[in-house]
Amino acid sequence: MGGLSRRTLMARAGMAGAGAVLAQIPGFLARRGWLDAALAAETDLTRDTLNGLVAFVVPGPDAYSKAQGQSSKTPGAIAAKTTDALIELLDRFVGTAEGPTLPSSGGVATLLNGYALQVNPAAANGQFLSPFSRLKFAEKIEVFRRFEADTEGSELRFVSGILIGAVGFLSHGEYGVLDKATRKLTGTPVGWKTSHYAGIAEGRDELKGYWQGRRRVHTSARYRVRRKAR
């Protein structure tokens, strides 16, 4: 069987439901009057918006985390290059008959910025390119609260969970240090550092052999299965 690896097949199957939900974003933007802005959005604006999103989910010592008022001394999603991974993931899905073809990353960014300006109109100007990235942490929470309230009872309500879950997962993966050509790591992933994961091993000393140097073990009498005589 050629063409599609098992890993790729499982990944696509797992994201099929998410893709169906994300594909509804163009239609939602059109109903809110935001679709034209989404179609005209520059790549830099999309990336900046998603920088604000990943820093919101996994804060670090970066500028986006500090600006929102929630940061950490340990590396976060920005250091893990989660924005690149998220854009690549989202853009596997495009608009459907509900709206014009629109990369999902641009649709998500426009959605976040639209609500950001509702929450805080002053976010139209500021340090970053995008209104969402200019918000404080509590204001970003309010963005998601309003979106979920407006989409109550529909599949689109799950977009917030999909985004936050995806960012958390990607931030602790190997994307940021994976050489796609060689399929090898070029450094230690951020997630390994923050979780104190020692890395891949072919076996660890404490797992080799039996307790106290034993070479064989015997099943205790109480656990032995007695065979019935024929």
Mean pLDDT of 203-227: 69
Question: Where do the DSSP E strands lie in the chain?
Answer: 178-179, 184-185
Burial 88-98 (b: 16+ CB within 10 A, else e): ebbbebbbbee
Asked if residue 10 is part of any domain, the answer here is yes
Asked if residue 37 is part of any domain, the answer here is yes
Q: How many whole angstroms separate alpha carbon 82 and alpha carbon 93?
A: 18
Per-residue confidence (pLDDT) for residue 45, from 0 to 100: 94
Asked if residue 70 is part of any domain, the answer here is yes
Per-residue confidence (pLDDT) for residue 4, from 0 to 100: 55
The residues, ordered by sequence, that sit 6+ positions from 142 with a Cβ below 8 Å of its Cβ are: 119
Question: Where do the DSSP E strands lie in 161-206?
Answer: 178-179, 184-185
Q: How far is CA 34 from the centre of its chain?
A: 24
Q: How many whole angstroms separate alpha carbon 228 and alpha carbon 173?
A: 53
Per-residue confidence (pLDDT) for residue 12, from 0 to 100: 57
User: Is pLDDT at 124 greater than 90 in this prediction?
Assistant: yes
The residues, ordered by sequence, that sit 6+ positions from 111 with a Cβ below 8 Å of its Cβ are: 25, 28, 29, 34, 147, 159
Question: Where do the DSSP E strands lie in 79-165?
Answer: none
pTM above 0.85, yes or no: no
The residue with greater pLDDT, 68 or 92, is 68
Mean pLDDT of 70-95: 88
Q: How many CA atoms lie within 13 A of 91 on its CB side?
A: 14
Asked if residue 207 is part of any domain, the answer here is no
Per-residue confidence (pLDDT) for residue 180, from 0 to 100: 87
Contact (CB, 8 A) for 64 and 128: yes
Band of residue 1 on the pLDDT scale cut at 50, 70, 90: very low
Contact (CB, 8 A) for 190 and 171: yes
Band of residue 16 on the pLDDT scale cut at 50, 70, 90: low
**Residue range(s) defining the domain that contains residue 60:** 6-192
Mean pLDDT of 176-192: 91
Asked if residue 211 is part of any domain, the answer here is no
Band of residue 141 on the pLDDT scale cut at 50, 70, 90: very high
Mean pLDDT of 109-116: 95
Per-residue confidence (pLDDT) for residue 2, from 0 to 100: 52
Q: How many whole angstroms separate alpha carbon 226 and alpha carbon 54?
A: 59
Asked if residue 206 is part of any domain, the answer here is no
**Total domains in the fold of the chain:** 1
User: Is pLDDT at 10 greater than 70 in this prediction?
Assistant: no
Q: What is the mean pLDDT of the chain?
A: 84
pLDDT in tens, 23-47: 788 888 888 888 888 888 888 999 9
The residue with greater pLDDT, 56 or 4, is 56
